[in-house]
Amino acid sequence: MPSLKALKNRIASVKSTKKITKAKQMVAAAKLRRAEERARESRPYTERMEGVLANLAASAKDNPNAPALLRGTGADKTHLLIVATADKGLCGGFNSSIVRLARERIVKLQGEGKTVKIITVGRKGNDQLKRLYGELIVWKTNFVEIRQIGFKEAQEIASKVLSMFDAGEFDVATLFYGRFKSVVSQVPTAQQIIPAVAPEGVETPDLKGAVYDYEPEEDAILKALLPRYAAVQVFRALLENVASEQAASMSAMDNATRNAGDMIDKLTLQYNRARQAQITKELIEIISGAEAL
């Protein structure tokens, strides 16, 4: 049985941990509100762009002169996985769930004889993937020193991906991130961005029977739209990740604070029992000594 001093030190240590987790929970809650607003504000623009893309792609997908970003390379041999996670931990299973989804895709693709390349966005994803698939990582980046992620960072990632596509380094690119649904629900998501395809469930604009003439032609619009579409999807994924990270962190720190409180109660009870036992023992020794005299 541990000594009274050891129990006292343990209680003090757990109390210090509880203060840290409580502070972290409050910080995450404060950051979550703004992060959630940014994620939600980005969705209407992205969804509208997806609808426009779906409308244009419907008429251009069979066109041999359509942009390569839409029709692809004609092959399905090399896949690029862009795995976006957080730079920090203490957010429950948020990072692990995204990495797990990416690992499942890697195993599936390699089982089909495909070549896999990985780009990691975020330090935690890179740390987990490099253990088993370090040789597949071709580029990595993080935002440790950036206070707020903006479109500039997304554009840099998209530019890297597009330059690799232009160089013929892959055929299909898929983006992995955590989609924010609520404080207690963040959904690991895989979305193909090259060749560009509108996600399932996207509604095309209702033309109500009208016929639109495009100026310039659809192909010219797509050539300008598709690179921006890739950057917008990356930006949306980053914003969703930030909101999901803060929500997961708040939930994880709330659970940690509760667990610390329970542990303090148990240790305090154990300490009181040990102290009572020691006092009882000392009293018995004093009484026994007095009786002996």
For the stretch 32-41, pLDDT in tens is 888 888 888 8
Alpha-carbon gap, residue 13 to 28, rounded angstroms: 23
Alpha-carbon gap, residue 8 to 279, rounded angstroms: 16
Phi, psi of 274 (to 5 degrees): -65, -40
Both 54 and 122 in a single domain?
yes
Is residue 114 assigned to a domain? yes
The per-residue pLDDT for 63 is 66
Both 204 and 125 in a single domain?
yes
Q: Is the pLDDT of residue 70 over 90?
A: no
| Residue numbers of the domain that contains 276 | 4-19+254-292
**Which residue in 208, 200, 284, 222 sits closest to 68, CA to CA?**
222
Q: Is the pLDDT of residue 170 over 80?
A: yes
What tokens were used for 242?
A: 């930030």
The per-residue pLDDT for 201 is 59
Domain count for the chain: 2
The per-residue pLDDT for 60 is 58
- Residue type, position 17, single letter: T
Is residue 28 assigned to a domain? no
Is residue 27 assigned to a domain? no
Phi, psi of 115 (to 5 degrees): -90, 135
Least trusted range by pLDDT, from 53-67, 121-135, 200-214: 200-214
Q: Is the pLDDT of residue 211 over 60?
A: no
Both 165 and 276 in a single domain?
no
Least trusted range by pLDDT, from 10-14, 161-165, 223-227: 223-227
Both 198 and 264 in a single domain?
no
Active site residues: 91
| Residue that wins the pLDDT comparison between 198 and 127 | 127
CB atoms within 10 A of CB 66: 21
Q: Is the pLDDT of residue 140 over 80?
A: yes
Both 204 and 175 in a single domain?
yes
Domain CATH for 190: 3.40.1380.10
The per-residue pLDDT for 102 is 94
The per-residue pLDDT for 207 is 57
Both 143 and 284 in a single domain?
no
The per-residue pLDDT for 16 is 92
Both 206 and 70 in a single domain?
yes
Both 175 and 287 in a single domain?
no
The per-residue pLDDT for 209 is 59
